[in-house]
Structure 1
Amino acid sequence: MAVLFAKMLHTDAHIIYVNHTTYSDKRLLTRLILRNVPVVAVGEQAKNNAENFFHVPGNRIAVIPNAIAEYDGEFVQVPQIEEERGKGKFIVTNVGRLHPQKGMHYFVEAAAKCIDDGLSIAFFIVGDGPLRGELERQVADLDLADHVHFMGFREDATNVMYQSDVLAMSSLYEGLPLTPIEACSVGKAVIAPDIEGVREVVQNGINGILYEPKNPDALFSAIKTLYRDRDLLKTYGGQAELVFRRKFGIQPFKDAYLKYYEAL
């Protein structure tokens, strides 16, 4: 709708639509609105969505991957995390809006399996959203209140990831998610569902583990692997930082956008 309003208000301006994720609704309306509008896709999955679902010609789509600047804040100890680490706990964090897309209930199920298996792990959920009450009830029902901690929305999510041992995702779908890029930027291995978009950041067996989506048993198994093998965890973390610097640094992102705008 923003593109439609822009067309109405700015008839002489260049209008560019940035496709950040994958969509499966408003197909006919979107095709009409995006007619003759250039599209920037944040990843290959977002490009495929624009091209195959909304029929935007491929020669009108440019792919410029999402990027983030390196964290320039202080890495300040997070009291809740330090308290659990002081008990000898391994720290697993999931960052995302508490929305059905993020599949957080699968994460909670996997946490329950880890605790039942005797793993000494503290789980942190960073984010807020409409499913918070439902997730808190799930945690209570599974008797996980001492193991799964809700941190709410935080401006310093990258700092939280830095304090963690591993980032675990449970999303159902993504375009090109920023969260695993942020984790890579601070040298953290990522456990993530094997879905398009995520695969552009997380390389299985290189900087993390990809597991079957919507499968808490598979997520549990991946967490257990890195819990048991700290050398492998360290190797993945080092590779994660290399992936970030090579592919998702802010300077290549800036250069690509400037080149794109100049070409208009």
Structure 2
Amino acid sequence: MNILYINRGMGLGGVEKCILQLSKLFNKDNKIVVASMGGKLTNELEKIKIKHYNIINTDSKNPLNILKNLIIIYKITKYEKIDIIHSHHRMTTLLSKIVSKFTSVKVIHTQHLCIEDKFKLTNISLKNIPVITVSEAAKRILIEKANLDEKNITTIYNTIEDSCDKMEIDSRLLDLKQKGYFIVAQISRIVDYKGVYDFIEVAKKTTLENESIKFVLLGDGPELDNLKNIIKAEKLEEKIYLLGAKDNIIQYLKYIDIVLLCSYIEGLPLTPLEAFSQGVPVIATDIDGTNEEVIDSKNGYLVKIKDVYSFKKYILKLYNDQTNYSYISNNCIKIFKNKFNKENYIKKHIDIYKNILNI
């Protein structure tokens, strides 16, 4: 099969990591091509000798840019003899569907978020094509809110790479572990809907009760400077460490004791899966998608959005009760291997690809 994976960008987000994962998994026996407006993960594609084509930012509503993107996708499809375009963004899916009208290419879409808006656009983009959702919640929303046909939608839980060759770790984290501190981390883009300001509040209140706990935030985003200012103004520099975006999270998790996920909206976030693979418990907001990964009191804890007190309570519980921590840590690995394994992920994608191509 010749497969084109297409998305708005190829930064360090969860969607982009999924595309990289698919590219690696299917590159051996198939021809894989990726198209996006670029980003850091294009370097990883280059390492595994996967060709990347640049498209124009699909957020642009300029008719000329839309036309240019249609031409780019059409040319890729013809030149690379693409059989399937597997899109991971609504606009790239819509553009791909238009291109499919002039070629024999088939189009598949993966819905990563539990969307809350633009249901008409979603219907137009995804109607009458196979759709993969990363959670049952995302599937339900597409059926109920975007009026899509259930028979065209399949849920495939994400998987992740549970090993990494890049060993480099920020010296600040290594220093904290060497001094014996208990490390609590959030790993996410630094945007408001990831609950990054709640993370600061959790850290502030928890460290007031226990000075042996330190907090680290791994990620980058538009709220970074504001967070830096808050940490400085409230004199939290020795309690909260902003380590920046990392491309070897699996290695970092070897030095982390608990992962927090303070998000207000997700699809099926990769961070809990990465944490589970390393036996790291997750305390997360009880929201669609995430609550299909985190099983309360089994591999972590679920709390209400913005419930700073409950985040603090469960951090201290895990810190103070080593027997409970070990029980949850062991469950993390078991649940990851049983529910989010790579073999199941590959098989379900192959089945969909073969079905759409009638092979």
Q: What range describes the TM-score normalised by the shorter chain of this pair?
A: over 0.9
Q: Cα deviation per residue 1:38-95 (whole Å; 9 max; x = unaligned)? A: 2110111111121111111111111111111321426565421221123331111110
Deviates more, 1:70-79 or 1:237-246: 70-79
Instruction: Provide TM-score, normalisation by structure 2.
Output: 0.71
Q: Cα deviation per residue 1:192-213 (whole Å; 9 max; x = unaligned)? A: 1111211111111111111122
Q: 1:235 to 1:75 in 2, by over 3 A?
A: farther
In 2, distance between residues paired with 1:201 and 1:207? 9
Question: What's the offset of the Cα at 1:217?
Answer: 1.3
2:228 partner amino acid: E
**2:107 match:** 15
1:32 partner amino acid: I
Contact 1:112/1:142 (<8 A) preserved: no
In 1, distance between residues paired with 2:167 and 2:257? 15
Question: What's the offset of the Cα at 1:116?
Answer: 1.4
2:93 partner amino acid: V
1:133 partner amino acid: D
Secondary structure class of the residue paired with 1:55: coil
Structure-to-structure mapping, 1:61-210, within 5 angstroms: 61-73=153-165, 78-210=170-302
2:290 partner amino acid: V
Deviates more, 1:40-49 or 1:138-147: 138-147
**2:147 match:** 55
In 1, distance between residues paired with 2:175 and 2:93? 48
Question: What's the offset of the Cα at 1:230?
Answer: 1.9
Structure-to-structure mapping, 1:23-42, within 5 angstroms: 23-42=115-134
Secondary structure class of the residue paired with 1:258: helix
**2:35 match:** none
Instruction: Provide TM-score, normalisation by structure 1.
Output: 0.95
In 2, distance between residues paired with 1:6 and 1:170? 34
Contact 2:162/2:250 (<8 A) preserved: no
Q: Which has the larger radius of gyration?
A: 2
- 96, 114, 117: which one pairs with 1:6? 96
Deviates more, 1:170-179 or 1:118-127: 118-127
In 1, distance between residues paired with 2:311 and 2:234? 17
Residue segments in structure 2 that go unaligned for 5+ positions in a row: 1-90
Question: What's the offset of the Cα at 1:188?
Answer: 0.9
Question: What's the offset of the Cα at 1:142?
Answer: 2.4
Contact 1:203/1:210 (<8 A) preserved: yes
Question: What's the offset of the Cα at 1:33?
Answer: 2.5
Contact 1:75/1:162 (<8 A) preserved: no
The sequence identity of aligned pairs, in percent, is 29
In 2, distance between residues paired with 1:2 and 1:211? 35
Contact 1:69/1:249 (<8 A) preserved: no
Deviates more, 1:70-79 or 1:91-100: 70-79
1:4 partner amino acid: L
Residue correspondences, number:
264
Q: 1:119 to 1:227 in 2, by over 3 A?
A: farther
Residue segments in structure 1 that go unaligned for 5+ positions in a row: none
Secondary structure class of the residue paired with 2:345: helix
Q: Which has the higher contact order (CA 8 A, sep 6+)?
A: 1
Matched, 1:255 2:337: no
Secondary structure class of the residue paired with 2:242: strand
Q: Cα deviation per residue 1:6-58 (whole Å; 9 max; x = unaligned)? A: 12222232211110012122222221232212211011111112111111111
Secondary structure class of the residue paired with 2:283: strand
In 2, distance between residues paired with 1:77 and 1:173? 29
After superposition, the CA RMSD in angstroms is 1.4
Q: 1:49 to 1:155 in 2, by over 3 A?
A: same
Deviates more, 1:85-94 or 1:172-181: 85-94
Deviates more, 1:96-105 or 1:71-80: 71-80
Contact 2:262/2:305 (<8 A) preserved: yes
